A and B are shown apart, each in its own frame.
Chain A
Amino acid sequence: MRYIGKETSRVDGVAKVTGKARYVAEFPVKNPAYGFIVTSEIAKGSIKSINTEMAMKAAGVLKVYTHQNATKSQAKGNAYTALQSPKIAFSNQPIALVVAETYEQARYAASLVKAEYNKEKPQTDTLEANKVATNKVTRRTPNTRGNTQTGLTNSDVKIEAEYTIPIEHHNPMEMHGAIAFWEGDKLMMFDKSQGVYGVRGHLAQSFGIPAENVKVVSLFVGGAFGASLKPNYYPFMTAMAARDLKRPVKINYTRRQMFQGHGYRPFTYQKIQMGATKDGKLQAVVHESVGNTASYENFQENSSGFGRTLYKVPNYDSKYNLVKTDLPTPVWMRAPGAVSGAFAIESAIDELAYKLKIDPLEMRKINYAEKDPETGKPYSSKELMKCFDVGAKTFGWKKRKLEPRSNKDGNWLVGMGCGIGTWGAWQAPAGAKVTLRADGTVHIGSATADIGPGTYTTMTMIASEFLGIKPNQVKFELGKTEFPRAPSQGGSITTASVGSAIYGASMNIRKKLFDMALKIENSPFIERRVEDTELMNGMLRLKNDSSKSVSVAELLKKNNMTEIVETYQAMPSKERANYTTMGHGIQFAEVKVDEDLGIVKVTKVIEATACGRVINPLTAHSQEMGGMIWGIGMALHEHTEIDHRYGRMMTTNFADYHIPSNADVGYINTEFVEEEDKIVNPLGVKGMGELCLVGAPAAIANAIFNATGKRIRDLPITPDKLI
């Protein structure tokens, strides 16, 4: 391989650091008006009256939209649509949109909109709501493997423990934003999005116009983590105002608004019962989860499902109680379900290991699943055992003492812990249009996104590899609905999906050229197969004899062509169904705890990850670093606190909602354990951007236990919980 597997700097790096990369709010449009969203002060009830007079009189204000004058959306489904009725279903629900000549004017006028409400008592406490039968919307029936009663009875040692994870918010660096304008019945929409096709479909439906009439553009995304995976409600508001005012309208969020009335990681309560024989063999796991959703829409995570494939356990029960609350609908947030489930399962197995006095890493080896314990299918590849060894060695696991509180460094108690992570190696249908020109340059378009993982770069590398050209000859474009459809960038599926489309297109281009080459006089490829050839530096040549070659430019010329255009739709293979396809990894954490003061320092996190073939080790490493830092935040800092009296999220800025600062991050590193996987997809790649987070919070909590002997089952682990 010339490019794949080699550290490659981002092809869009210069554009990003010089400001040439345009984020949504930066697109120049003529004469834009600015919208600012006014939100509800109450969490439940209805708007009795809304006074927009003062706002309308404020300087520069063009119009104020409320449920009384807003366009009725034709969107189907239960997702919240703004300004459709006086009903209030969550605090900070939009109640008006003020549009003015400048952003500042709009924001000021927004403060002048006054609403009177019919207030009802909100219920935003998930566990309280769970006590009321009418709030329960259990969607997945209990899922049973074997007989957990028998399993627990046969266990020598058992634990039963409860774990809670608070609501958390994504908070990407770039805030939500959109610009919309209309040309007749055609809508042009710039939206910060992880999937332009999703936004197009949503808007076409909302306005009752054909999808072809909506163009959506999102070229660069400053992080999203799931916050922009589903169409948000603000693009509709933006487009509605733009249509009504007959001029471009722009909406851009404040940081506080990023916490308000949006998707978030749901509150999760989990109860685990786990039993093992005295030699550490797991006999049974019972995993019950409770998570919250909105009153008007269901959103469910798979927090109790991920654990089912982790260990060789004959008996397993899991169920999930979804509970209605007067909060906005949660949404996927990096490693949704998996990281929440892993916090519980990976803490519980640690608890069991201590009870058995078995090294926690050994405990995981004892229960290692060689094949999928849920389906009995083989894994397409699984080098987790190697990850255990590589990670343990790099981390220095053997220096760990099993007995809690037995390792000290001055005032600090030192502890080590680990946690396994898994993530599905999925692939979704994806299209790419590849144009190979006679001059050797290539253009590729695919309506995928690059929310930060380096998609621009990896796709360029894949094309360069298989079309035999240099990366600077490739122009890869994404984020426009004019390109072939690709899945939204979520679930860590982009490289597997879009990469396979580019690979497929490249193979078809080679085939077309090969067929052309066969027809020329004295073709060097007579009695050769296309598989024997490769594209390299503008030539189609034999792999094992590069002197046997034909110039691509000449082939095209002979056929009166200037370019070859190949639109390819990559589909997951049928063979995948015979296997379980997953990425695996383990995180090791070392912490130092000042027990008197409750201070935790995460001094080291080492991750070993088996995620198929790594296309670009440089950007992959960045992803893994980010995931581990996220794990530190989830374990120690992040917490959207709600005042249940008002049903209102209160820690809605970066002073009160903590994420790790540089000073909170010690030494972190990743070891990739390569896997050769011919089943998973033609490139042999698996997603990694979420995998790196999954085991991290449990690893840190387990390390804190090893240091202090205190088991904290309620995240985040702040100083008050440790003193």
Chain B
Amino acid sequence: MRPFKYDRAKKSNDATKMVASNKNAKFLAGGTNIVDLMKENVERPDALVDVNNLELKQIKSMGSNISIGALAKNKDTANHPLIKQNFPLLTQAILSGASAQIRNMATNGGNLNQRTRCVYFYDTATPCNKREPGTGCGAAEGLNRMHAIFGYSDKCVATHPSDMCIALAALDAVVHVEDEKGNKRKILFGAYHRLPGDTPEKDNNLKHGELITSIEIPKNKFANNSYYLKVRDRASYAFALVSVATGLEIKNGIIRKSRIAMGGVAHKPWRAMIAEKELIGKKPSQKLFERAAKMEMERAKPLEHNKYKVTLGERAIVRALKMASA
């Protein structure tokens, strides 16, 4: 591991100032991803600013929203009564990710900022535009069974690894951030993560020095009809081949609102807007779900080794909708 400077911030403003003043500085929260990447020589910050002492751990109801602190642990978030009651989808998604040990350490803010698990990104002997812009993409014509089928570019075909974020995308979360001058802004979840385009080195639209302070989720009526489905290579501690987060608001047997987000298929949590739209105003049925799923997945552009994700994605949407509407 490269030598680096370590500081512990006492206030948000100290933290953002410290990071903003050094373009090679990074925040350190749970450390479950960045420390690994530093050991692998993939992330090479020369300073880490530890934000664990900041007061950003609260999970609370605020009017029509529920706010979850950026530094609340994944485990505490998943098990919090407010979350379990209002957003069982989020609980389910968090608990299907990583391992209990990692969830005990990982924070919500860190979860949003975790980096792809693409094997080329991790291996410094191979090309990767995300790690070293301009070196090429090892996965595009290499081992891409785990890679994107939507929204990728010729520069990068990586996927976002989070489960939590897939639920947050479905739940229309809003990310609250703050910069070194104390400026605060809100980023809609759909605009937080990026598609790779020509700059795959940028995973999200956070500016350097900006710190996530909380994630706000508007209260909704999905709690009774939501489901997180994750298909993976083994039953625990594996990244999604495909995952689907669904939330339905069903009134008098008719779908009034629908949310479908997918993991394992794109550089960011993928909202299946076409399928969502198809469901509105209709009675839940196998046929409807199949049609909606097909319409969404028809737009997929699989790579050499991930053609299965199109079929699997279609079936996973149908199954998740079935489970949610049951």
Chain A contacts to B: CB under 8 angstroms: 41, 59, 91, 104, 107-108, 111, 254, 256, 596-599, 601, 636-637, 641, 643, 645-646, 648, 650-653, 655-656, 658, 660-664, 718-720, 723
Contacts and interface: CB of A to CB of B under 8 A. Distances in A.
Contact of A720 (B1, B39, B239, B241): B241
Given A597-B312, A646-B126, A650-B119, A658 B236 contact: no
Given A648-B126, A720-B145, A636 B236 contact: no
Contact of A650 (B141, B143, B241, B319): B143
Closest 8 CB pairs of A and B: A663-B235, A41-B125, A720-B308, A663-B236, A661-B236, A650-B119, A596-B315, A664-B235
Interface in B234-279: 234-239, 241
Contacts of A596: 315, 318-319
B312 A720 contact: yes
Nearest to B239: A655
Nearest to A59: B3
B44 to A, nearest CB: 9
A723 B41 contact: no
B8 interface: no
Given A598-B231, A636-B233, A720-B308, 15 more contacts: A104-B1, A107-B1, A111-B2, A254-B39, A636-B234, A643-B126, A643-B138, A643-B142, A648-B123, A648-B126, A651-B119, A653-B122, A655-B239, A663-B236, A719-B312
A91 B126 CA distance: 11
For the residues of B in contact with A, the DSSP-based class is: loop
Contacts of A655: 117, 237-239
A658 B143 contact: no
Given A597-B316, A723-B312, A256 B235 contact: no
Contacts of B122: 653
B319 to A, nearest CB: 6
| Interface range for B | 35 or more
B135 interface: no
Most chain B beta-carbon neighbours within 10 Å: one of A41, A107, A641, A650: A650
Contact of B234 (A91, A598, A643, A660): A660
Contacts of B117: 655-656
Interface in B111-125: 117, 119-120, 122-123, 125
B21 interface: no
B234 A661 contact: yes
25 contacts: A104-B1, A596-B315, A597-B231, A597-B315, A643-B142, A645-B142, A646-B126, A646-B138, A650-B123, A650-B143, A651-B119, A652-B123, A655-B237, A658-B233, A660-B234, A661-B236, A663-B235, A663-B236, A664-B235, A719-B232, A719-B308, A719-B312, A723-B308, A723-B312, A723-B315
A260 to B, nearest CB: 10
A256 B40 contact: yes
A648 B125 contact: yes
For the residues of A in contact with B, the DSSP-based class is: loop
Nearest to A411: B319
B179 to A, nearest CB: 32
B311 interface: yes
B236 A108 contact: no
B98 to A, nearest CB: 10
B234 A658 contact: yes
Most chain A beta-carbon neighbours within 10 Å: one of B119, B126, B236, B311: B119
A664 B122 CA distance: 26
B311 A723 contact: yes
A323 B3 CA distance: 44
A643 B143 contact: yes
Given A597-B231, A663-B235, A720-B308, A111 B41 contact: yes
A598 B312 contact: yes
A593 to B, nearest CB: 13
A637 B315 CA distance: 22
Interface string B150-165: 0000000000000000
Contacts of B315: 596-597, 723
Contacts of A598: 231, 308, 312
Interface in B261-314: 308-309, 311-312
Nearest to A92: B125
Contacts of A652: 123
Interface in B95-133: 117, 119-120, 122-123, 125-126
Contacts, number: 91
Contacts of B231: 597-599, 719
A590 B192 CA distance: 45
Contacts of B236: 661-664
A115 B73 CA distance: 42
B238 A658 contact: yes
B119 to A, nearest CB: 4
A658 B232 CA distance: 11
Contact of A108 (B1, B40, B319): B1
Contacts of A254: 39
Nearest to A653: B122
A632 to B, nearest CB: 9
Nearest to A110: B41
Most chain A beta-carbon neighbours within 10 Å: one of B123, B142, B241: B123
Contact of B3 (A41, A108, A648, A656): A108
A104 B4 CA distance: 12
A563 B39 CA distance: 55
A638 to B, nearest CB: 10
A594 to B, nearest CB: 9
Contacts of B238: 655, 658, 661
Given A111-B41, A655-B239, A720-B308, A637 B143 contact: no
B142 A108 contact: no
A137 B117 CA distance: 38
Most chain B beta-carbon neighbours within 10 Å: one of A91, A104, A656, A661: A656
Contacts of A641: 119, 143
Contacts of A597: 229, 231, 312, 315-316, 319
A718 B125 contact: no
Contacts of A645: 141-142
Nearest to B232: A719
A652 B120 CA distance: 11
A378 to B, nearest CB: 44
Contacts of B312: 597-598, 719-720, 723
Contacts of A658: 233-234, 238
Contacts of B143: 641, 643, 650
B2 A108 contact: yes
A56 B235 CA distance: 46
Contacts of B123: 648, 650, 652
B112 to A, nearest CB: 19
A266 to B, nearest CB: 20
A455 B312 CA distance: 47
Nearest to A597: B231
A658 B235 CA distance: 10
Interface in B206-235: 229, 231-235
B119 A664 contact: no
Nearest to A595: B315
A720 B145 CA distance: 9
Contacts of B138: 643, 646
Nearest to B318: A596
Contacts of B39: 254
Contacts of A651: 119
Contacts of A646: 125-126, 138
A105 to B, nearest CB: 9
Given A637-B234, A650-B143, A719-B233, A656 B40 contact: no
B1 A664 contact: no
Given A111-B2, A720-B312, A723-B312, A601 B125 contact: no
A338 to B, nearest CB: 25
Most chain A beta-carbon neighbours within 10 Å: one of B143, B229, B309, B319: B143
Contacts of A59: 3
A664 B234 contact: yes
Contacts of B126: 643, 646, 648, 650
